Amino acid sequence: MKEQTKAKKIHFHMTKKAWIVLTALFVVYIGMSLFFEKHFFFRSTVNGVNASGATAEKVMQEIEAQSKGYTLSIQEAKTKEKFSQKDLGISVKSKQEDFDQYLGQQNGFLWLGSLFSPKKYESKALVS
């Protein structure tokens, strides 16, 4: 009789632990889902710039920073010329709304899928 009671207690105790673990996983999943409503998924890129976990504003700043470091080198037979971003007249035409639009395309609750397949956003209108 005591063995049956003991077995029931062990079974109930394990079930209680399982519920605690499931509840914790659910809370983490919901928290990450809310995080990815305002941030890019893991393994995301925007015009070749790593956007994983970044906000739209952060990605825009990174693209602007990369454009400032752009140089074009032309080498002829005896001379080599370098042109900077300013010499070429390259400017970033992006706005916060462009990047917010990319974030609007993703559903925060589907963040687990981003672990298995990367997401690439390309826009030809970002640089002129």
What single-letter amino acid sits at 23? T
For residue 41, the model assigns a pLDDT of 92
Q: What is the mean pLDDT of the chain?
A: 81
Cα separation, 56 vs 95, whole angstroms = 10
The pTM for the full model equals 0.70
Q: Give per-residue pLDDT as tens, 47-87.
A: 888 999 999 889 888 888 877 777 778 888 778 888 777 77
